[in-house]
């Protein structure tokens, strides 16, 4: 099956990855494989792997948070450069969605250019967009604020929630319930495409 991509947007620290994990768990209960993918993250790390590895002896795919913090400014600036050079198309042109399972992208961030990530997800991929508004989290910067305002208007599902901790069984139950509601809506919408 060729499932439409699910994109998740919202401010940094709003719970995009938390929802992504819960959606993966929900789809598993339906015997549907779902996986998390990033639009830019893996491509940036792959593009810079040899340079950073050779010059700094650092693996760009490290899980060490101190090393991640050290190399993040370089990764971010490279990402900006490639986005500006291609009017937002560099990373989405390289993106490969999963076949026969659901691809979930918890980092739909940009609507700056005419055919940016939002356009790609909604118009080219016919994807399903979730926008998260966390009641205690503000946009991280002006760029995020401007993009989120545009992206929010084009979402298929608007989720407003508060802090929920996956390690707390009561909160986990709430998170899973939200994911079930959204996942069911997605599957219902998807079956209308077929």
- Give the pLDDT of the chain (194 residues) as one tens digit per residue: 789 999 999 998 899 999 999 999 999 999 999 999 999 888 999 999 999 999 999 999 988 888 988 998 999 899 999 999 999 999 999 998 888 899 999 999 999 999 999 999 999 999 999 999 999 998 888 989 999 999 999 999 999 999 888 999 999 999 999 999 999 999 998 865 44
Both 59 and 112 in one domain: the answer is no
Both 47 and 27 in one domain: the answer is no
How much helix, strand and coil, in percent to the nearest 5, is found in the chain? 50, 10, 35
CB of 118 within 8 A of CB of 108? Answer: yes
Both 108 and 34 in one domain: the answer is yes
- 95 located within any domain: no
Both 109 and 28 in one domain: the answer is yes
Tell me how far apart the alpha carbons of residues 159 and 174 are, in angstroms, rounded to a whole number. 13
Both 25 and 50 in one domain: the answer is no
The tally of domains found in the chain comes to 2
Q: Which CA distances in Å does 25 have to 177, 179, 190?
A: 11, 8, 18
Global pTM exceeds 0.85: yes
């Amino acid at each position: 099956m060729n499932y439409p991509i699910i994109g998740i947007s919202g401010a940094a620290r709003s719970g995009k990855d938390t929802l992504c994990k819960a959606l993966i768990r929900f789809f598993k209960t339906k015997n549907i494989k779902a996986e998390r993918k990033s639009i830019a993250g893996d491509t940036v790390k792959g593009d810079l792997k040899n340079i950073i590895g050779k010059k700094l002896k650092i693996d760009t795919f490290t899980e060490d948070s101190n090393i991640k913090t050290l190399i993040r400014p370089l990764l971010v600036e490279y990402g900006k450069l490639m986005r500006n050079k291609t009017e937002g198309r560099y990373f989405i042109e390289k993106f490969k969605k999963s076949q026969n399972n659901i691809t979930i992208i918890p980092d739909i961030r940009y609507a700056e250019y005419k055919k940016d990530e939002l356009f790609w997800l909604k118009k080219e991929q016919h994807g399903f967009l979730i926008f998260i508004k966390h009641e205690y989290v503000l946009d991280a910067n002006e760029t995020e604020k401007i993009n989120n305002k545009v992206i929010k208007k084009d979402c298929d599902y608007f989720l407003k929630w508060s802090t929920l901790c996956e390690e707390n069984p009561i909160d986990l139950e709430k998170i899973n319930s939200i994911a079930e509601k959204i996942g069911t809506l997605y599957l219902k919408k998807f079956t209308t495409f077929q």
